[in-house]
């Protein structure tokens, strides 16, 4: 509401704990919906020894991956039907996304304040993300014990929701409160953290099979190509390809234009 005043508790910036290295290991994990094993890449983080015995961690990740369209573009219609000069111009794309999961950990009750091969996100073989090349940017935050309690509670709720034995959701109180109305429940947490980061690049090893859907050509694609000249201007440009025998066909545009799957043709600087 307008005029409301909120503030957080006083927080001290923790010391930075450096990352030692990160790894990707090919593993299989059970599918939570279909009860079968899925192969994929499990990412692990190892950090250097913390300067204090009780250290608290929060990790979040950003992934970038290369993927390819299934068909080259041979024709383009934009009021006139023309040959496509650069047939591979929309074949290779790169997409960057925030990994929805985050992870927390504490070294309390450990013999040594180190993080050794802590499991982070798992990427299975049922999407295009691992098929060509995959990059994971990992940010490691050193946080306070109070911030750890908040974020680990959020992590627990996100993990347990929907399970057979999941706990009932409850309101997680952070360190922000209302000055204007002390009884008002406030959702959120102001986190002060030191950060280190590392980027890992992953290319699929030989023998890792993938199980994502690919584009095909059905009988309607031949008829639809014959009607491409009736495409409305707001759909231009319309791309078409060839079947294995060199016959023109009109298939779903995202089978030829990789940008329609959320990516960009601009290669990242770190690629």
Domain borders along the chain are 6-261
pLDDT at 17 over 90: yes
Give the dihedral of Cα atoms 17, 105, 152, 95; nearest 10 deg. Answer: 70
Kindly report, residue by residue over 46-57, the tens digit of the pLDDT.
999 998 889 999
Provide long-range contacts, Cβ within 8 A and 24+ apart, for 75-80: 75/228, 75/239, 75/240, 75/241, 75/248, 76/237, 76/238, 76/239, 76/240, 77/228, 77/229, 77/231, 77/236, 77/237, 77/238, 77/239, 77/240, 78/236, 78/237, 78/238, 79/233, 79/236
pLDDT at 163: 45
- For residue 199, name the pLDDT band (cuts at 50, 70, 90): very high
- 160 Cβ contact partners less than 8 Å away, ≥ 6 residues apart: 166, 167
Sign of CA dihedral 73, 77, 81, 84: negative
- For residue 166, name the pLDDT band (cuts at 50, 70, 90): very low
Lowest model confidence (mean pLDDT) among 104-108, 129-133, 142-146: 142-146
How far apart are the C-alpha atoms of 38 and 26, rounded to whole Å?
A: 10
CA nearest to 268, candidates 62, 24, 72:
62
Range from 34-38, 57-61, 151-155, 167-171 that averages highest in pLDDT: 57-61
Tokens representing 205 are 């090893």
pLDDT at 219 over 90: yes
Kindly report, residue by residue over 65-114, the tens digit of the pLDDT.
999 999 999 999 999 999 999 999 999 999 999 999 999 999 998 888 99
pLDDT at 9: 66
pLDDT at 146: 85
Kindly report, residue by residue over 229-253, the tens digit of the pLDDT.
999 999 999 999 999 999 999 999 9
């Amino acid at each position: 509401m307008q005029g409301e005043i909120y503030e957080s508790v006083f927080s001290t910036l923790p010391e930075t704990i450096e990352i030692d290295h990160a790894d990707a290991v090919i593993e299989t994990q059970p599918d939570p919906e279909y009860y079968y094993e899925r192969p994929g890449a499990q990412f692990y983080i190892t950090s250097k020894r913390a300067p204090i015995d009780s250290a608290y961690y929060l990790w979040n990740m950003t992934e970038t991956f290369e993927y390819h369209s299934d068909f080259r573009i041979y024709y383009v219609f934009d009021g006139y039907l023309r040959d496509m000069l650069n047939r591979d111009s929309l074949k290779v794309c790169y997409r960057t996304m925030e990994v929805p999961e985050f992870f927390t950990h504490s070294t309390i009750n450990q013999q040594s304040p180190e993080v050794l091969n802590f499991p982070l996100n798992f990427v299975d073989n049922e999407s295009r993300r691992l098929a060509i090349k995959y990059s994971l940017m990992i940010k490691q935050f050193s946080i306070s014990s109070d911030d750890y309690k908040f974020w680990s509670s959020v992590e627990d709720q996100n993990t347990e929701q929907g399970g057979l034995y999941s706990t009932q959701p409850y309101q997680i109180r952070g360190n922000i409160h209302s000055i204007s109305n002390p009884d008002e429940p406030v959702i959120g947490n102001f986190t002060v953290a030191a950060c280190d980061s590392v980027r890992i690049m992953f290319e699929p090893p030989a023998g890792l099979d993938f199980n994502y859907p690919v584009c095909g050509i059905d009988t309607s694609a031949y008829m639809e190509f014959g009607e491409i000249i009736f495409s409305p201007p707001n759909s231009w440009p319309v791309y078409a390809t060839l079947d294995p025998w060199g016959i023109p066909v009109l298939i779903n545009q995202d089978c030829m234009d990789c940008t329609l799957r959320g990516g960009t043709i601009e290669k990242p600087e770190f690629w």
